[in-house]
Amino acid sequence: MYTVGILDRFIGNRISASFKKNLRNVLGFAPGKTALYQAALTHRSVRDNVDENNERLEYLGDAILSGIIADFLFKKYPYKEEGFLTEMRSKMVNRNKLNEIAIKMGIKKITQFNKFDNSLKISQIFGNTLEALVGAIYLDKGFKQTQRWVLERMIMPYLFMEDLENLEINHKNRLYGWANKNGKTLEFETLNERIEGGRRLFTIGAVVNGELITEAKAYNKKDASQIAASLALEKLGLNKIAENGDGE
């Protein structure tokens, strides 16, 4: 359990004025329990103890964010079926999208992580940190203010519903569709698997007709293969085809 006392002992006097200023710029309000936010912005690569990093807050924030997004979509689309709402929620809170939002918000600049680990720089940890931040806001300010923060600081500036409605997020399915249509063999191969920061890091390659087209790294095979597929679509020019309305 996160308690301010434990976190204060962990952080001591290291919550600097500059950190508070940068944090306030990201949040848009003055935080109450600053120690909670310090934990939310601390990756396990620099603090392995469960009460000193953001993994528990990430778990909480993921659930809170999912509920807020579900409520938002339920009210915005009163006549849409469950499948549509579920797909839209996935588009709004998938790892790539959350990571993109986190970086645009400036969260990467104030996250404490092992900057000598190059794999972390290209991973999805900043999206995870954003979820942890949502968890910290919930514990600090309560549900209503967290809901308002998500609407005003995430959904309104970064999540455009009309664009998301037309967004294809399953890159693997698109790539498989293209391969089948053109008589090509597509496989996703595990190129490497190793332990990084106590977690298993996978390198997955998109292989077309036996040729490695692209590769990507992530802490699970599903995310790595989706990223590799997205890169392959871009490399093969298939994203441009879709944008021009010429099909896959």
Query: So what's the architecture of 4-165 in CATH?
Result: Orthogonal Bundle (1.10)
Catalytic residue among 51, 58, 82, 131: 131
Could you tell me where in the chain the CATH 1.10.1520.10 domains are found?
A: 4-165
- In the chain, count H helices and then E strands: 15, 3
What's the pLDDT score for residue 14?
52
What's the pLDDT score for residue 201?
86
Query: Which token pair is 34?
Result: 């600053």
pLDDT tops 60 at residue 82: yes
Burial grade of 7 (CB within 10 A; 0-12, 13-18, 19 or more): buried
**If you average pLDDT over each of 65-79, 153-167, 227-241, which comes out highest?**
65-79
Active site residue 51: no
Does CATH number 3.30.160.20 belong to domain 171-243? yes
- Of 223, 24, 27, 39, which Cα lies nearest the Cα of 119? 223
Q: Which of 29-43, 44-58, 99-113 has the lowest mean pLDDT?
A: 44-58
Q: Are 145 and 75 in contact (CB under 8 A)?
A: no
Cα 40 from Cα 125, distance rounded (Å): 12
- Residue 1 burial (CB count, 10 A): 5
Residue 60 has φ and ψ, to the nearest 5°, of -65, -50
Quote the strand ranges of 119-185, DSSP E.
Answer: none
Catalytic residue among 48, 51, 52, 62: 62
Active site residue 62: yes
Q: What is the mean pLDDT of the chain?
A: 84
